[in-house]
Chain A
Amino acid sequence: MSAYFLCFVLFCIGLYAILRKRNIIKIIVGLVIIEYAVNLLVILIGYRFQGRAPILAKDQVILNMVDPLPQALVMTTIIIGFSVLVVLISLAIRIYEKYGTFDITKIRRLRA
């Protein structure tokens, strides 16, 4: 149970970073923390007490095995998170070239 709670705390830290921080890089880090919190939750959901890997072989009897599907899902979400991260970082670099700052309160040319 405490693992789920810590996972929730991690999620909240990420959300706090996105909502309160002014530096673009810190916002990106916040988003990454949120993604990791969700990935961790996916793994926790697949976990079974004293479970083992579900590899079936002839001479083995598996009484308690973990759910393998969330682990497959997590591979996909990590890759998706990685591609979002790449896009965000390259945007941040280009924004720094144009505006000369990472402070979001100074990056507002769109406001009419």
Chain B
Amino acid sequence: MKILLIFSVLPLCAAFLIALLGRWFKHWGEILASLTTLALLISSLYCAKLVGIHKILVYKVSGWMPPLGICLVADGLASFMLVTVNLIVFLSLIYAISYMNKYTDKWKFYSLFMIMLAGLNGVIISGDLFNMYVFLEAASISGYCLVAFGTEAQDLEASFKYAIMGSLASVFILLGIVLLYSYVSTLNMADISLELLSKPRGMLVGFVSVLFLTGFCLKSALVPFHAWLPDAHSSAPTPVSAVLSGVFIKAVGIYALARVFLNVIGIYRNLLFILMVLGAASMIIGAFLAIAQKDIKRMFAYSSISQVGYIILALGIGTPLACLGAVFHLFNHAVFKSLLFLNAGAIEYSTGTRDLSRLGGLNNKMPVTSYTSLIGSMSISGVPPFSGFWSKLVIILAACQAGRFGFAFIAAVVSIITLVYYLKFIKFTFLGSSDKTPMPIKDIHFTMKFSMITLAIICIIAGVLLIPSNRQFLQGASDSLLSGRAYADAVFGALK
């Protein structure tokens, strides 16, 4: 199954070629990067189709048989994540082509962006714990550089904070991997899972679980560990914010957490409860902090913390319906949060400010941004025909079904608070008088409009993924979450 190899090799080659030749040829970076991401989007869709037929794809790197060699694995969850990541990255890159004109040395941006994409894809398809750590670090380091890409004072400060927190998280994850290795003497995820079954469940596995939980929660910015996220995501250039908030924290945080706990170490009751509490705390605190923000991107960043809480809460409930809700909300949040960040970038591009108190009356002047923001805002606050409503409904229903009425109530209330601060965003930006708005309003380019309109259309129609006849895409992902230890048997079965 060679197709798995291109997901990390192709962007790495592109990054190398851009860095090699970008200095001399104008537009080389844009062309190569957008072609690469388009190719990856198409192959991720093809990979999802293959996974639909074969259930699981396994590739042995350079022919070494696992557990001795490294293997790449794409099951339902991984192919679902690949489609999400490559879709958002492709649209953000199309947006970046005209947005990044205000920066110098654009080829460096495209090169770093490709390394980040290689890291994200690598984390998703890796079947080896240490290999996953290496890809995670590749994605994170290019993330720190991209946050500081503007090299303004604020960007550097945010990037430094992010880099320290992110590296600390990586150290915890590495420590967990090493201690787990000392216990089971293997690094292949499927093999670890089998070894752990045959050994008594000692204190060490509990300690390793805590290390992994700390590391991945720092990476996905759940509430006690969230301090770096609003700074980093609001200071980065807009296409990077869209990718960081849309897919980065999900791929290196939630996906890795779910994979390690559900499929490798195995989940137990206390851990599920911890996940639920962390999720609920993130939802509430993120939402309340978002209300008070004046900077548009900062508000969206706090909103990300709150929405990631929904996904973690649903994972913590752990019933089949809740897992379906978790993966569906993950997809929806990737789509509408990157749409909203791209809108914030368009507003900043046209008017030169992101401050809510200095904006107003943009409704007539920027129709495309205005309507797509409205769709994104309604979708994220869970207004019925849009995608966000369906995923939140599934999560709340799952919480009720599992008898967790308190958490269901919190989820419903936070949804209303979300509506409040998105209405605030719409009112202060697009409605009212345009007296205070800095005047000549620049027109946004076609490529920026294309990305925003495509994401808005996905927001409207994503609800059809839940219809039983179309549900295979989401069902495959939630099935591989629920299969638990059967992951190991599936991997070794596919190798034979």
Contacts from A to B (Cβ < 8 Å): 18, 24, 27, 31, 34-35, 38, 41-42, 45, 67, 69-70, 73, 76-77, 80, 83-84, 87-88, 91-92, 94-95, 98-99, 107-110, 112
Contacts and interface: CB of A to CB of B under 8 A. Distances in A.
Contact of B181 (A24, A31, A70): A70
B160 A95 contact: yes
B158 interface: yes
Contacts of A99: 153
Interface string B147-179: 010011110111110011001101100110011
Contact of A98 (B134, B156, B179): B156
Interface stretch (B72-80, B91-99, B257-265, B292-300): B292-300
B168 A18 contact: yes
B293 A91 contact: no
Interface in B276-335: 293-295, 298
Nearest to B134: A76
A110 B151 contact: no
Given A73-B130, A88-B164, A112-B298, 5 more contacts: A31-B168, A38-B178, A69-B187, A98-B153, A110-B231
A110 B154 contact: yes
B480 interface: no
Contacts of B137: 80, 84
Given A35-B171, A87-B144, A92 B160 contact: yes
B171 A34 contact: yes
B244 to A, nearest CB: 16
Most chain A beta carbons < 10 A, residue from B151, B163, B185, B231: B163
B134 A80 contact: yes
Given A77-B174, A112-B295, A31 B167 contact: yes
B303 to A, nearest CB: 16
A76 B182 CA distance: 18
B126 interface: no
Nearest to B130: A73
A107 B155 CA distance: 12
A77 B203 CA distance: 26
Nearest to B298: A112
Nearest to A15: B168
Given A70-B178, A84-B141, A110 B163 contact: no
Nearest to A24: B160
Interface residues of B, number: 36
Contact of B167 (A70, A84, A92, A107): A84
B178 A41 contact: yes
A70 B163 CA distance: 26
A18 B141 contact: no
B84 interface: no
A31 B165 CA distance: 10
Contacts of B141: 80, 83-84, 87
A45 B174 contact: no
B235 interface: yes
Given A31-B168, A41-B175, A110 B156 contact: no
A27 B231 CA distance: 19
A110 B158 contact: yes
A95 B157 contact: yes
A88 B181 contact: no
B157 A112 contact: no
Contacts of A80: 134, 137, 141, 170
8 contacts: A18-B168, A24-B160, A27-B164, A31-B167, A87-B144, A94-B151, A98-B152, A112-B295
A77 B173 CA distance: 12
A105 to B, nearest CB: 12
Contacts of B152: 98
Contacts of A73: 130, 178
B241 to A, nearest CB: 14
A88 B157 contact: no
A91 B181 CA distance: 34
B57 interface: no
A27 B168 CA distance: 11
Contacts of A110: 154, 157-158, 231, 235
A79 B187 CA distance: 19
Contacts of A108: 157
B231 A88 contact: no
Given A38-B171, A107-B157, A91 B163 contact: yes
B156 A112 contact: no
* Closest 10 A/B residue pairs (Cβ): A98-B153, A45-B182, A80-B137, A91-B160, A95-B156, A110-B231, A94-B156, A84-B167, A42-B178, A34-B171
Contacts of B164: 18, 27, 31, 88
B251 interface: no
